[in-house]
Amino acid sequence: MDTPFIYGKLAVGENFTDRAEEKMRLVQNFISGTNTILISPRRWGKSSLVLKAASEVRDTSPNILVVFLDLFNIRSEEDFYKALAENVIRVSSGRMEEVILTVKQFMKQWVPRISFSPDSQQEFSLGLNWNELKKQPDEILDLAENIAQSKKSKLVICIDEFQNIAFFEDPLAFQKKLRSHWQTHQSVSYCLYGSKRHMLTDVFTSPSKPFYKFGDLLFLSRIAINYWVPFIAERFRSTGKDISDSLAEKIAVMAEGHPHYVQQLAQLVWLRTGKEVTSGIIEESVDGLVLQMSLLFQGITENLTTPQVNFLRMLIDGETRHTTRANIDKYQLGSSAHVIRIKKSLIEKEIVDEQPGGLIILDPVYSTWLRYYYFI
C-alpha cells in the first residue's frame, strides 16, 4: 500500500492542503498579469503552492501559458539566457517544426543551433554564441513578450531559486538588465521565489536594489494547525487506519505546522500504526525522526561558534529579551553589539528567523534535538 503522505517533493492533488488564500492571490495575479514575489523559509511549500496555482490557471484560462524555470544549477548569465529561451519556446511551441519557426521568427539577430532529442519532439537544446549574446541579450529577455503578443496569449514565468543570480559575475548589473526589460512587458508576468529568504528579502525590499517594488510581495507563513487536523485524519482514514482529531493535532503541533515535517512525521506514525494511532506511537515516531536527523544536526551545531550555540540555548530556554545584561552574562554572549551580530549570522545561515511572534529556530526537529539531546 502506498503511503498517504508526501514530503521531499512537490505536493500535488490530494497531497496539497490549505493555502487557500495564498493560492487565490497567486491565481488572481497570474490572470491579471501582476508580478509576484513569494518569500518564505525553506521547505514551507512555495513550489507546491506555485504549481497548484498554475494548474488552476491552466484549467480555467487556456490562453495563459505558464513557464517554469529552476535556477538551482544555473550559475551564469549564459546559462540563464539559455534556460529561459528553451523553456519559453518549449511551452509556447508544439512539435519540432513549430520550434524551428519560433526560433527563426523571434531570434533574428543571431541564429542559434538547435539540437533535438531523438526520443521526444519536445526535447531540444539551443546552442548560443555567448560572445555575441552578452553584447546584446535583448532578444532573449523580450522573447516571451514577443511570442505572447504574436499568439495573443499571456505568459507567466515562474522562476524558482531566483536568489542564485547572486552568483553571477555582476549580479547588480544583471538585475538592472532584467528589470529594465521585464517592467515593460504587458503580456508576460513573473513569479519569483526561492529557498534563501534573507537573500530574497534583500533583493526585493531594499530601495537601493533594481527589483524594489517589482510586484506583489507575498510572505508565506506556516500552515495553521487547524488546517492540518482534518487533512491528517482523512489521509489516515482513506487507508483504513484510524486517528482521533486530538492525536492528528498532536502530530501537527509537534512538527510546529512545518509542511515538510508534518507530512514526514505523519508518515512515520502511519507506518507504525496497525489499525489505530496511539499517543505512544506518535512519541516513538518523534524520537525516530529526531534520531534520524541527529547526524545532520550534529554537523550543523559543530560548525557554529560557542556564542552562537549559547544564543540558541537562550532561545530554547524561552528568553525573548536577548540583549539584557542579565541574559548576556548568563549565556556568555559578550555584549549587546555581539548579540546583534550573532543574530544576523544565524539568520543568514537560515537557522533562526524573525517571525511576527518573535525570533524562532526555523527547523522544529532541530529545535527538539537541541532541547532534548544536546542541551541536557
Domain boundaries, given as residue ranges, for the chain? 19-219, 225-302, 304-376
Q: Sign (positive/negative) of CA torsion 255, 256, 257, 258?
A: negative
Q: Strand pairing partners for 36?
A: 191, 216
H or E element at residue 217: strand 216-219
Q: Which CATH superfamily is domain 19-219 in?
A: P-loop containing nucleotide triphosphate hydrolases (3.40.50.300)
- Res 353: pLDDT: 87
Q: Which CATH architecture has domain 304-376?
A: Orthogonal Bundle (1.10)
- Res 82: pLDDT: 87
Q: Which CATH architecture has domain 225-302?
A: Orthogonal Bundle (1.10)
What are the per-10-residue average pLDDT scores of the chain (376 residues)? 71 59 92 92 82 91 93 90 89 76 71 61 65 77 93 94 90 93 96 84 88 90 87 94 97 92 95 96 96 95 97 96 95 96 93 86 95 92
- Res 159: pLDDT: 95
Strand order in the sheet with 154-160: 64-70, 154-160, 188-193, 36-39, 216-219
In this structure, the number of other CB atoms found within 10 A of the CB of residue 363 comes to 24
Topology alike, domains 19-219 and 304-376: no
